[in-house]
């Protein structure tokens, strides 16, 4: 408990809040671009069996882009850890960053006591980003399935 009392967390918050805001902005804009392309490509398909194939292709690319987006956001935190000297090298910084963001834990990599609150705040950011992604995927399904039912409902 001494670490909790002796550690000034103001610096952690000062670094973490702008990173959280920056990551959320990147995420929202990235998801919006993916959503626009997704709906444009999938809504064009009128024939049912082609729709399912087109949907699978576009959804696969969308998921890949979302994973890249999360990876880029983890890189921003890893770069912060490196620039602050909180972690010794890029590999451990990225491992810790991805672990904190996903809640998976980074194994034997940990932050020094004076930066541990920043790791917890990154976990909070990860929860926000994965929540946004979940809502986004739900919205993608809703954007195309009702329109597909309308185009095929008149066909026997």
Question: Would you give the DSSP letter of residue 115?
Answer: G
Q: What pLDDT is stored for residue 153 in this prediction?
A: 47
Averages of pLDDT over each 10 residues, the chain, 156 residues:
56 92 96 89 69 82 95 97 96 95 85 92 96 92 64 48
Domain ranges of the chain: 11-107+114-141
Q: What pLDDT is stored for residue 83 in this prediction?
A: 96
The contacts found for 89-92 with CB under 8 angstroms, 24 or more apart, are none
Q: What pLDDT is stored for residue 74 in this prediction?
A: 97
Q: What pLDDT is stored for residue 55 in this prediction?
A: 80
Question: Would you give the DSSP letter of residue 113?
Answer: G
Return phi, psi of residue 32, to 5°. Answer: -65, -40
Instruction: Concatenate the DSSP letters of all residues of 55-120 into one string.
Output: HHHHHHHHHHHHHHHHHHHHHHHHHHHHHHTSSSSHHHHHHHHHHHHHTS--TT----GGGHHHHH
Tell me how far apart the alpha carbons of residues 26 and 83 are, in angstroms, rounded to a whole number: 21
Question: Would you give the DSSP letter of residue 155?
Answer: -
């Amino acid at each position: 408990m001494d670490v909790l009392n002796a550690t000034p967390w103001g610096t952690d918050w000062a670094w973490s809040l702008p990173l959280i805001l920056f990551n959320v902005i990147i995420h929202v804009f990235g998801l919006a671009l993916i959503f626009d392309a997704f709906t444009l490509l999938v809504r064009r398909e009128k024939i049912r069996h082609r729709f399912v194939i087109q949907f699978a292709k576009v959804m696969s690319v969308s998921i890949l882009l979302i994973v890249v987006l999360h990876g880029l956001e983890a890189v921003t935190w890893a770069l912060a850890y490196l620039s602050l000297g909180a972690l010794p090298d890029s590999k451990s910084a990225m491992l810790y960053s991805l672990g904190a963001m996903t809640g998976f834990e980074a194994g034997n990599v940990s932050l020094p006591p004076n930066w541990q609150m920043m790791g917890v705040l990154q976990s909070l950011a990860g929860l926000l980003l994965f929540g946004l992604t979940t809502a986004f995927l739900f919205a993608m399904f809703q954007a195309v399935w009702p329109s597909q039912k309308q185009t095929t409902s008149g066909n026997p």
